[in-house]
Amino acid sequence: MAFERVCALSEVPEDGALRVELADIDVAVVRFEGGIYALEDRCSHAEVALTDGDVEIFDGAPTIECALHGSCFDLRTGEPTNLPATEPVPVYPVRVEGEDVYVDTEADAAVDDRLPRAAAN
């Protein structure tokens, strides 16, 4: 795993998202109900930034909504929870060390649902 520091925890709004531009990918770092998540900041349906959408519970799952057409993506798995999106977005392992948020964009956390989400301290 190749975790890299992407931001300070204080930069991620409560129940919101922060866009982080890395060399080869844009990542949405999301803080919701005490957890920190990371996923590709691109709707799989319309290719718009997910960080422009709301973070909320949809059908019992923590999600981020695409502001353009309203598809929601499960923060834990990247799976869409409603149409029009039908393809998942990549999610990445996250860890919080002190005030720093680290993300591993070389791994796909959706492959292993045993990976815990990072808790916001």
pLDDT digits (tens, 9 = 90+) for 71-117: 999 999 999 999 999 999 999 999 999 999 999 998 755 444 434 45
Q: What are the CA-CA distances from residue 93 to residues 48, 71, 119 (Å)?
A: 22, 23, 12
Res 116: pLDDT:
42
How sure is the predictor about 1, in pLDDT bands with cuts at 50, 70 and 90? low
pLDDT digits (tens, 9 = 90+) for 55-69: 999 989 999 999 999
Whether this prediction's pTM lies above 0.75 is answered by yes
Res 97: pLDDT:
96
Q: Kindly give, in sequence order, each residue whose CB lies less than 8 Å from that of residue 96, ignoring residues fewer than 6 positions away.
A: 9, 36, 102, 118, 119, 120, 121
Q: How far apart are CA 86 and CA 81, in angstroms?
A: 9
Domains of the chain: 4-119 (2.102.10.10)
